[in-house]
Structure 1
Amino acid sequence: MINRLIQKGVRIPNPENTQIGGDVDGDRVSAKVAVIHAGCKIFGSQTLICDGVELGAEAPVTLKNCFVGPNVKLKGGYFENCVFLEGAEAGSGSHVRAGTIFEEQASIAHTVGLKQTILFPFVTLGSLINFCDCLMAGGTSRKNHSEVGSSYIHFNYTPNQDKATASLIGDVPNGVMLNQNPIFLGGQGGLVGPCRIAYGTVIAAGSIYRKDVIKPDHLVFEGGGRGGSVPYTTGIYRSVKRQATNNIVYLANLFALMAWYTHVRRLFVSERFPQALYQGLVDTLQTAIDERIKRFSAFCEKLQRSRTLYEEQMGDSASSKLVQQKKELIANRNFVAERIGENIEGIEAYASPEFISQIEKRIQTCGSVYIDVIKSLDSTETQHGTQWLQQIVDQVVEQMLDLFPSLR
């Protein structure tokens, strides 16, 4: 396979120290790849490598079933079942796994761990970061972008041993328009998921933040916490409304993103954004949706034991509202996958013909470069697109709350 790729025109300066698995489809590796440096290992029948890609400039890269778009630079690390759109970058020591999407010009510096993470265009992460189970948007360009400072953690595993903790940093309806104020998460800090963070939020460096920030354009910070020791029983869940609601809102945003990919992104399929890359993008987003449903269901399953423990401990003082919320989440959890599945199957019905027509006209005048087209939309057009996607989010949230009415 290596000889075949070299004959095709792929630059592999040190083939003796490069490994390409027999399952790799040579037709999915562009002859115009910039360079595959020594020490790189490439596997997987789904692997796609587009024009201008550079692998392993700082350290060896292991690539497995990834979709790597044009002019992407993966400088070193391990990458599996993820997508990188045009101009994305990852520094050495990266560990990027399933369900992760880097949209155009998103980037991470060295030693960053990601899984089930979606970064919208221009979003930038510093170094020494663990940022799994997040969607982050915000910013308008490489000079005005959302940022995560170095040594940051998104805490995505609870003492109750669940991972229904995905945080929405920005949102989909506004974020896709590339016109929002950036979000800044200061270094040496952390966010305890699941959280919702509004555009323009600045979380001060050193803060471990545990709350939602719903109002935009706020500086928030945490002081040193007071020490203490209190009784604690793992698995009781003394509150479920916020965790369940934030999971529902996150899932609704992912479905809105699927509508955007289905009705808008596919209009940009071209030599620069090939069909195989688009399909990888859609499939990876579906993986992210499936993951969130799985984690939400697992969280709900824990509430049967939680309810028993809670009622035993609290007796007559147990909150009837909390008990009812747990009952509904236990009883109706499996309908979430059913509802979302029905929505995915019928996603063509979620189109906005007027907005799609506006995008098509912009493509005719601006060309097929995604960033250029979205940035060319005027305020009326972006507002129209945001309203369309927000209606989708609201509709899905209502579908979920119909299953769990006590969360209203």
Structure 2
Amino acid sequence: MPDKIHHSTIEGLIQKGVKIPCPQSIEIGPEVNPDRISSENVTIHTGCKLYGEKTLILSGTTIGEEAPATIKNCHVGANVHLKGGFFDGAVFLDHAQMGSGAHVRKGTILEEYASGAHTVGLKQTILMPFVTLGSLINFCDCLMAGGTDKSNHSEVGSSYIHFNYTPNQDKATASLIGDVPNGVMLQQAPIFLGGQGGLVGPCRIAYGTVIVAGSVYRKDIVKQDQLVMDGAMRHASIGFTRGLYQNVNRIVDNNALYMANIVALSHWYYYVRKLWASDLLTSALQKGLCETIENVLEERTKQMKRLSEKMPASIQAFHSLSGAKSPVIDAKQCLYDNCTPFVEVFLDAMPPSSSDHLRDNFLEELASIKTSSYLDSIQSLDENTRTSGINWLQRIVNSTYNKAINIVRV
């Protein structure tokens, strides 16, 4: 019976117009719904596999043009090119691209024209429109914005790593490269992370930043339009106490700001993006986008809880080294005692929300100039409307961040 279902699904896709040059070579799970695959100019090349009841593929998309690709529960927009690799639980909006050898996992969102060349690993990664990744990159647990169009975009050079796992064995390391309130408006200077380098999360990087090639950067850059570099580290051999956490306040602050931006982005997806959900397939894409951003926040709250659970041992280690009471110890104890209400602030701030005059005014202005193109509509906003949208999202960020951080601040 499964073989009959498999073959009938493939035959049905071919009959409705999906291009499958070598149908005997592809595999489609029985749970895949053919109605969620567009009949308009979709191509599935040799050796590809489709799994998952959530899998969605819109018109003009090509799967596996360079190498076999496995798609599992992904929401794939129009004119997307997934050229080869493994894709699980991710969202690709119109014209996104990934080269062969990709390994893209849950919580990843590539917005319009975002792309990666060959052999790129992503997980819990959000790339806003036009952001471009080179080859041989590991770029998990971060959000990157910046740029205005296909010729003026943020970029990550080849052989780059976002370091998202610490020697203390935690992953409270998400980095905010740009931000949400300004990034969604597509008017900011691009960010450039030079190749053969890395960023040690959690970091905050401002618009216009250029980190020169070969740098492994460990600090926040909050001033815009800076050229920064970090040379080779000198040789050293010093004692290391695992789990000490000398600067827990910075870790908490950067994670709180990241999560507040995720909350703002979820409101943007829920209220703004749905204006372009015009039929069953685009509505399913927008729903998948909202579900995925919820998954991103859930992952961040999980990692913060895991971090907080390490605080008692960290306090003990700090006592054994210094023997003195310290504000650092107080900060760790406060995080341990209050992590649950801290993360609940972000979860409670997710949409839908009550009436908001800033949001409603922005949506009214946007609706009056809306065209069939999301990018064209956002880029054509006048300064007053754009500012009102930024103010709406920034208020979400500020209010959520302040409410949460006050819970864990001594």
Give the CA deviation at 1:211: 0.3
2:204 is aligned with 1:200: no
Listed one character per residue, the Cα deviations across residues 20-66 of structure 1 (whole Å, up to 9, x for unaligned) are 11110010011114310000000000000100010000000000000
Alignment match, 2:405? 401
Question: How does 1:60-139 map onto structure 2 within 5 Å?
Answer: 60-139=68-147
Match of residue 327 from structure 1: 333
**Structure 1 residue 389 and structure 2 residue 389: aligned?**
no
Secondary structure of the corresponding residue to residue 349 of structure 2: helix
Paired residue type of 2:341:
F
Shift of 1:329: 0.2
Which residues of structure 1 form unaligned runs of 5+? none
Question: What secondary structure does 1:264 align onto?
Answer: helix
Aligned Cα root-mean-square deviation (Å): 1.2
In 2: Cα distance, 1:402 partner to 1:222 partner: 34
2:252 is the counterpart of 1:248: no
Q: Matched residue of 1:160: which SS?
A: coil
Q: What CA distance in whole angstroms lies between the structure 2 residues aligned with 1:193 and 1:222?
A: 15
Whole-Å Cα distance in 1 between the matches of residues 204 and 281 of structure 2? Answer: 31
Shift of 1:345: 5.6
Q: Distance in 2 between matches of 1:51 and 1:141?
A: 22
1:348 Cα deviation after fit:
4.1
- 1:262 lines up with 2:267 in the alignment: no
Whether 1:165 aligns to 2:179 is no
Matched, 1:292 2:296: no
What is the one-letter code of the residue matched to 1:359?
L
Q: Any idea what SS the aligned residue of 1:79 has?
A: strand
Q: Judge conservation of contact 1:150–1:187 (CA < 8 Å) in 2.
A: yes
Given that residues 70 and 272 in structure 1 are in contact (C-alpha distance below 8 angstroms), is that contact kept between their aligned partners in structure 2? no
Answer whether contact 1:33 1:49 (CA < 8 A) is retained. Answer: no
Q: Structure 2: how far apart are the matches of 1:272 and 1:103?
A: 20
| Alignment check: 8 A CA contact 2:244 2:317 kept | yes
C-alpha distance in structure 2 between counterparts of 1:285 and 1:87, whole Å: 20
For 1:150-229, what aligned pairs fall within 5 Å after superposition? Answer: 150-229=158-237
Mapped contact 2:25–2:46 kept (Cα < 8 A): yes
Task: Kindly provide the amino acid, as one letter, of the partner of residue 383 in structure 1.
Answer: T
Question: How many residues align structurally?
Answer: 401
> Separation in 2 of the partners of 1:95 and 1:346?
32
Which amino acid is the alignment partner of residue 347 of structure 2?
A: G
Give the TM-score, by structure 1 length. Answer: 0.96
**2:372 maps to what in 1?**
368
Superposed displacement of residue 263, structure 1: 1.5
Aligned-pair CA distance for 1:388: 1.2
**Post-superposition offset of 1:73:** 0.4
Q: Which moved more, 1:169-178 or 1:3-12?
A: 3-12
Q: Which amino acid aligns with 1:358?
A: E
Q: How far did residue 368 of structure 1 move?
A: 2.2
Partners of 2:280 and 2:17 in 1: CA distance? 18
One-letter code aligned to 2:376 = D
- Provide the TM-score with structure 2 as the length reference: 0.96
Q: In the TM superposition, what is the alpha-carbon distance from 1:273 to its structure 2 partner?
A: 6.8
